[in-house]
Amino acid sequence: MKKILSEIGLGEYIFIVLFGLALVISQAFNFSFVSPIARNFWMFFAEMVTFLPLMFILIGIIDVWFPKEKVEGHIGKGSGFKGALWMILLAMLQAGPLYGAFPVTYLLWKKGCSIRNIFIYLGAFSTMKLPMLTFEIGFLGLKFSLLRTLFTLPIFIVISVIMEKHLQKKQFEVKQP
């Protein structure tokens, strides 16, 4: 049964289908506890369905207009302030979870990226990706997003400097598992 479900790609919808069934059944039997849950769900759902497509369209358009390749050309050039700035820019244009950034840092390391800039990349990747900022502004407001970014930037730079200071004397390398 499980196999058939996953084959037609229904696996991830199973919870949703069960929820729908539960709503129908409880409607028929008049279970009073279900209606507030259903009300909650519809309220959240209505908001998400209007909000999200707009945001994803915005993210899609941003994605096609900011060519990552151009930024990638600057990586490895100089490890000072400028190098760090390019790392942050490159990270901001990415999407996806943090573990998706690990293989990228391996490539950056091979290209001669400094230890500090590797961790700056990880810091910016985890906290300043443009698609994430779009969502953050949309759902928690511009003030929240600005404040968080403002405090986050110096903190992940400090973390990167500490990491570099600590790892310089050791034989640090980024490995490809």
Partner 1 sequence: MIFLIIVTVSVVIVSFFLDREKTFTGLKKGLRMFVDILPELLNILILVSVVLYLIPQSVLIRWLGRDSGVTGISIAALTGSISLIPGFIAYPLAAILLKNGVSYGVLAVFITTLMMVGIVTLPLEAKYYGLKTALLRNGLSFLGALIIGILVGVFM
The angle subtended at Cα 113 by Cα 111 and Cα 117, nearest 5°, is 150
Token code pair at residue 12: 């991830």
Query: Taking CB under 8 A as the rule, does residue 51 contact partner 1?
Result: yes
Q: Does 107 bind partner 1 (CB under 8 A)?
A: no
Residue 64 within binding range of partner 1, rule CB under 8 A: yes
Q: Which residues have a Cβ under 8 Å from the Cβ of 12 and sit 6 or more positions away?
A: none
DSSP output for 124-167: HHHH--HHHHHHHHHHH-HHHHHHHHHHHHHHHHHHHHHHHHHH
Binding part of the chain for partner 1, among 24-32, 33-41, 68-76, 80-88 by CB under 8 A, reads 33-41
Positions in the binding site for partner 1 (CB under 8 A): 12-13, 15-16, 19, 33, 36-38, 40-41, 44-45, 48, 50-65, 97-99, 102-103, 105-106, 119, 122-123, 126-127, 129, 131-132, 135-136, 138-140, 143-144, 147-148, 151-152, 155-156, 158-159, 162-163, 166-167, 172, 174-177
